A and B are shown apart, each in its own frame.
Chain A
Amino acid sequence: MPKIYDILIIGGGPAGLSAGLYASRSRLSVLVIEKGKFGGQATTTAELENYPGSIENCTGPALTERMKKQAEDFGTEFVKDEVQSVDFSGDIKVVNCLRETYQGKAVIIATGANPKPGGFKNEQNLRGKGVSYCAVCDADFFEGLDVAVVGGGDSAITEAIYLTKFAETVTVIHRRDALRAVKSLQEKAFKNPKIKFIWNSTVEEAKGDEILESLVLKNKITGELSELPVNGVFVFVGLIPITEVFEGKVTLDDKGYIPTDEEMRTNVPGVFAAGDVRVKTLRQVITASADGAIAATAAEKYINEKFNK
């Protein structure tokens, strides 16, 4: 008989790690299943200046590494495996992965989200050849070169500022005439001599044979097309939830996010969701961590009521 865990957590980012920490601290048996990178999207950010207490040198990788260690110390188990399908219909939930099948009394979905593509021509062909979604991973390549950043939110501006440590120029291309990022980031960006802005414009096409050479931009007001020579483009225009495998298993909204109540319960008893994958207004490490803690506590309550009567 394979082991039946109290809680299976799908996804090893801040939501999953916090859920693991809280649940194992309550002496529940917990398995975190992660397909790619423990730490999730947070590992792709160099500066987490808005996570309380992370004042100096607190990179995403450093913070999430500590979260993982902390959960591990309380007894959370971790496995690298990739979910293929799930069966949430019975009292014991079944998660079929590439290597093994796992069973648990409750499941917390913390699969998070991936960066959303910019939607311009040739974007896919030039991924890893100049088109990037991770400044921390790829900034090194662009030392002394010219790059563009697409987007105007917190992520775009944070990463644009980070990129100025490497690139010669960073051109922010934004579809509106004002940034959405918080004021303190805007002030930093406007003061930085390496950062230029192109307003009211979208990227239509990435040009380049084997590597990116330029972007074709379209001014949304005049309709005018122009070409911007760059060696790299970093796209930060939003997220896509990672929920394909849960289609038809739990309720999803029209964008693919999972609606929950305040206790992180999905529409299926015993199945919870936490972090970026959930319908919510603010997707940050701190809100993901909070979700994880709430989900673990709610799952514990569910298990006690359902199985320990």
Chain B
Amino acid sequence: MLEVNKENFETEVKNYTEKPVFVDFWGDKCEVCKQLMPDVHKLEEKYGDKIKFCSLNTSSNRRLAIGERVLGLPTMIMYKNGEKAEVLTPDKISSIADVEEMVKKFI
């Protein structure tokens, strides 16, 4: 999974148009995020040809996250042509199945 940050977010997410971009917003202290991560990697193996998978560590990119209106973890956002197409806030993620369901809408 491509690690995005303040340096490459514009290029890899906002200005990327080839396919939808999924961004997993996580943080150093978010246990739920860390436990979800291996399963998100599996989603990339499954759907990676149709969707670009990225992760963003909000602990080291706080301003960028807040700029994207992310103030709670875990948050998963699907971007299409640089625009937010769907946002999963923490309350919408009880297991990886919720994430997969959202991802599947974009394949």
Contacts and interface: CB of A to CB of B under 8 A. Distances in A.
B65 to A, nearest CB: 7
Interface residues of B, number: 27
Given A128-B90, A132-B72, A140-B59, A98 B97 contact: yes
B66 to A, nearest CB: 6
Contact of B69 (A82, A136, A143, A211): A211
A35 B94 contact: yes
A128 B27 CA distance: 13
B18 interface: no
A231 B71 CA distance: 9
Contacts of A46: 29
A182 interface: no
Given A141-B58, A141-B66, A210-B69, A35 B95 contact: yes
A80 B32 contact: no
B65 A61 contact: no
A107 to B, nearest CB: 19
Contacts of A212: 71
Contacts of A60: 31
Interface of A: 35-39, 43-44, 46, 60-61, 80, 82, 98, 124, 127-132, 134, 136-143, 210-212, 231-232
A143 B62 contact: yes
24 contacts: A35-B94, A36-B32, A37-B32, A37-B35, A43-B32, A44-B31, A61-B31, A80-B95, A80-B96, A128-B70, A128-B90, A128-B91, A129-B70, A129-B89, A130-B72, A131-B72, A132-B71, A136-B30, A137-B27, A137-B73, A138-B73, A141-B70, A210-B69, A212-B71
Nearest to A231: B71
B62 A36 contact: no
B39 interface: yes
A37 B94 CA distance: 9
B95 A36 contact: yes
Nearest to B65: A141
A211 B27 CA distance: 19
Contacts of B73: 128, 134, 137-138
Given A98-B97, A137-B27, 6 more contacts: A36-B94, A38-B35, A82-B95, A127-B90, A128-B90, A231-B71
Interface of B: 27-33, 35, 39, 58-59, 62, 65-66, 69-73, 75, 89-91, 94-97
A226 to B, nearest CB: 23
Contacts of A138: 71-73
Contacts of B28: 140
A124 B70 CA distance: 15
Contacts of B69: 129, 210-211
Contacts of B70: 128-129, 141
Which among A61, A124, A141 has the greatest number of chain B C-beta atoms within 10 A?
A141
A90 B89 CA distance: 39
Contacts of A139: 29
A212 B72 CA distance: 12
Nearest to B93: A36
A136 B95 CA distance: 19
Contacts of A129: 69-72, 89
Nearest to A81: B95
Contacts of B65: 141
A216 B73 CA distance: 24
Contacts of B58: 140-141
B94 A140 contact: no
Give the 3 A-B CB pairs with smallest separation, nearest first: A128-B89, A128-B72, A43-B31
B71 A232 contact: yes
Which among B30, B71, B89, B97 has the greatest number of chain A C-beta atoms within 10 A?
B71
B71 A128 contact: yes
Contacts of A136: 29-31
Contacts of A36: 32, 35, 94-95
